[in-house]
Structure 1
Amino acid sequence: MTRRCPTVADLKADKGKGQKTMLRYVTLDEAAAAEAAGIDIASVPPDLVTDPRYRQAAPGIFSMTGKAHPEAGTPDDYLRFCGQMLQAGADALYCSGSLQTVEYLAREYVPVVGHVGLVPSRATFTGGFRAVGKSADQAIALFHDCRRLQEAGAFAVEIEVVPVEVATAISARLDILLWSMGAGPACDAQYLFAEDILGTNRSRLPRHAKAYRNFAAEYDRLQAERIAAFTEFRADVDCGAFPEAAHVVTMDPREHDAFLKGIAG
C-alpha cells in the first residue's frame, strides 16, 4: 500500500516522539529502495525531484532539494527556483544562505531547511572540514544560529558534525526540527548519505557515517565479469566460434538458388 507523504505540519507534530530516518540519494533505484525500506525524509538533487518518475518511485518520502548558496543567485533567483521545485513535487527547500534569504523565502510560504555546524559551502569560516561547537563559545553561537533560523521561519535545520551534548541541548530548547548528520541521537532525524551506507563511496568513510553494504566490491566484481565477457566475445569472433548456426537466419534452398540466379552476371 502506498504511504502518505508527511507534511511539514506532520513532521513538526512528531517532534520529541522519536527519530525519523533521512537519506541523501541520487538515483531512481535508490529512491525506490528507500521507499520500500520505509525511509521518512530524503535530500535529493533537483534533476531527480523533477524527474516525472520520481514520485512513482518514492511517493511516501518527504523530499527536500536545493542549491548551496554560492550557486543560488539572488534571493529572487532562489525564490523562482523554489517555485519550480515545489511545482515539480519537492516538499521543502534547502538553503545555506543568509538569514535574510531564509526569511524572504519563508515569507513566501516556502518550506525552508537551514544548515548549521559543518556547512561545506561555508566551512572556511569554521576552520575547514572539522567538527563545529566543541568550545563553549562555538556551541553558544550554534544555539543562536538555530534560534535565529527558527525566528526567520525555517521549520528544520540540518545540524552537521556537532557535539552530541550541544545538539541535545538545542533540540530540547527550540521548536525547530534538527536533522542530525553526526550530531547524535537527540535530534529529530538521523541523516546519512546513501553512498556511505551502500559502500559506494571510495574515499574515506566519514566518522559520523556507517557502511551497511560493500557495493564498491560488487561493482568491481561486475566490472571484472563485464571485461571477461567482452574478452570472450572478441576471442570467439577471432577464432570463428561466433556466430554459430543458432545466431543467424538462413534461406530456403530454393529461394537461395533463385537469389543466386537473379544476381548472376
Structure 2
Amino acid sequence: MGLYHNRPHVQDIRRMKARGEKISMLFVTTPDEAAAAAAAGIHMLSIEGRFFDATMREAAGDCFVQVGLPYGGWGSFNGRPLATAEDYLRAAFHYAGIGGDAYYCAASYDIQKTLADNHIPVVGHIGLIPSYISWTGWRAVGKAADEALALWRHTQKLEEIGVFAAELEVVPDRIAAFLAQNSSLVMLGMGAGPHADAQYLFTEDVCGYGLNHKPRHGKVYRNLGPELARLQEARIEAFRAFKADVDGGTYPAPEHVVPVKDEEYEAFLKAAQG
C-alpha cells in the first residue's frame, strides 16, 4: 500500500460533517460492488474484515473504507474470535497495512479506547447493534425518553474515549438529529433519518437482491434480483451441460486438446521406455 493517495482522511470526513455536507455510504462485499461504488462517487464504504484484502482496497478506489472488525462469535481473525484488546489491535494493524481508513468496533469501552489510544480511527455503534441483539431485539432503539438518554450517554462516552464516528442504526429521527448536532462523532445513519451526518445502506438493498427482510429504511434503486436469478439459472444450466459432456465423454473434443506430431511422440516413447 502506498503512503500517499487521493482518498479522504479522517479530518476530511470530519470537515464534511462540520460543513453540513451530505455523505453517502454503502456496505459492500465484492470487488465489483466496491468498484461500482467508487465509480459512482460514493464517499464511504463499509467492508467486513473477512472480505477486505488488497483486491478490495484497489477496487474501492478513492472511497474512504471502514473495515469491520468481527465481534466475538460474529466472525474471526486468523482463525479465532476477537476477544482481547490485543486481538483487536492485531486485526486493526493488519487491515491498516492493506489500506483500511477506519475500523468498526462494537466491543467494550476499554477495547475501543485501546484502539483509539493507539491512533486507530474507531467507528463505534449506537442504537440497534446486531451483536447486542439479545438485549434489545430487532427494533428501533430510543423511542422512550430513558432509552434515548442512554443513547446520549453512550455517545458521550464514545466521544470521551476518542472514537471518531459511530454507526447510528434505527434511531428516531429527532433523537438522531440531537446526537449528530451535539457530538463531534460522525454519525453514520442507517434508518436514523435525514439529520445523520451520513446516509448508509447495504448494497443488497440498494440493488434489490437481498434475501433477508427488507428494513424500513431500505430503498431499492435498481431491482437486480430477477436479473441475478436469471444469470444464476443460466449458470446452473451451463454447469449441467458441462457435467453431461464429461459424463458422456464428449468433452474434451479434439479441438480442445494440444496435438503432438507422430515422430515426436514416437521419440518420446522410445526415450521413456528405453
TM-score where L is the length of structure 2 = 0.81
The structure that has the greater radius of gyration is 1
The code of the aligned residue for 2:46 comes to S
185 and 244 in structure 1: CA distance in 2 versus 1, 3 angstrom threshold: same
Task: Report what 2:45 is aligned to.
Answer: 42
- How many residue pairs get aligned? The number is 254
2: distance between equivalents of 1:250 and 1:68? 52
Answering whether residue 170 of structure 2 is matched by residue 161 of structure 1, we say: yes
The code of the aligned residue for 2:87 comes to D
* Structure 1, unpaired ranges of 5+: 260-265
249 and 40 in structure 1: CA distance in 2 versus 1, 3 angstrom threshold: closer
2:66 to 40, 64, 81: 64
Superposition deviation, residue 224 in structure 1: 2.8
1:116 to 126, 133, 142: 126
Q: Secondary structure at the match of 2:25?
A: strand
The code of the aligned residue for 1:130 comes to R
Answering whether residue 231 of structure 2 is matched by residue 222 of structure 1, we say: yes
Superposition deviation, residue 211 in structure 1: 1.6
Percent of residue pairs bearing the same amino acid type: 43
CA contact (8 A) 2:69 2:91 kept: no
The code of the aligned residue for 1:147 comes to Q
The code of the aligned residue for 1:215 comes to L
User: Per-residue CA shift, 1:107-146, capped at 9, x if unaligned?
Assistant: 11010010010001112222x1110000011111111111
> Within 5 Å, which residues of 2 pair with 1:1-265?
4-15=6-17, 16-49=19-52, 51-70=53-72, 71-126=81-136, 128-229=137-238
Q: Secondary structure at the match of 1:6?
A: coil
CA contact (8 A) 1:28 1:48 kept: no
225 and 80 in structure 1: CA distance in 2 versus 1, 3 angstrom threshold: closer
RMSD: 2.9
The code of the aligned residue for 2:226 comes to A
- Point out the more displaced range, 24-33 or 203-212: 203-212
Task: Report what 2:76 is aligned to.
Answer: none
CA contact (8 A) 1:156 1:179 kept: yes
Superposition deviation, residue 197 in structure 1: 1.2
Could you list the structure 1 runs, at least 4 aligned residues long, displaced by more than 2 angstroms after superposition: 51-56, 66-69, 213-216, 223-252
Q: Secondary structure at the match of 1:72?
A: coil
Superposition deviation, residue 26 in structure 1: 0.8
TM-score where L is the length of structure 1 = 0.84
- Point out the more displaced range, 226-235 or 59-68: 226-235
